[in-house]
Amino acid sequence: MRNRVNDMNDFIYLGGKLFQFIDRKCSKIKQSSPPQRSLNGTMSVDILNTNDKTEWTFLFEIDQRNLNRLELIWSLNQEIVLKDWDNVEHSSVICTSNSFDPVFLGDQNGDYLFSISLDFKEG
């Protein structure tokens, strides 16, 4: 088994902790205000009040310690700060994954390695 954890060069900070990842998918979604009913019963949507939100999916290959840290982030279900490794861009995000399903990859030099994919959405 190839130890990709040491081969990776992509990093993010989640809640102030540094994590390496092997794949990232990013998409932007438009989020408009919900329809509102006026006094005369008609529905309207404020098309001028739209926000762009960003969603990310990260695929991690990590050791047991970092798996425990990610599980804590997932279970807290609260906003945290996501920063690129160079601290240039950052966003307030929440983990939106419905389940926490790590896949055991094996062990390398006494460390257990896992793969897990987690979704985050800009708050």
Each residue's pLDDT tens digit, 18-39: 999 999 998 988 766 666 776 6
Domains in the chain, number = 1
**Domain residue limits at 16:** 10-31+51-122
For 19, how many CA atoms within 13 A lie in the half-sphere containing its CB?
32
**3-class secondary structure, 3:** coil
For residues 80 and 67, the answer to whether their CB atoms sit within 8 Å is: no
| The predicted structure's pLDDT at residue 71 | 96
Ramachandran angles phi, psi of 84, nearest 5°: -65, 160
Is 36 inside a domain boundary? no
Is 14 among the domain residues? yes
pTM of the predicted model, to two decimals? 0.75
Angle at 89 between CA 116 and CA 53, to 5 degrees: 70
The pLDDT assigned to 51 comes to 73
Whether 116 maps to a domain, the answer reads yes
**What are the start-end ranges of the H helices in 1-123?**
64-76
Give the pLDDT of residue 94. 94
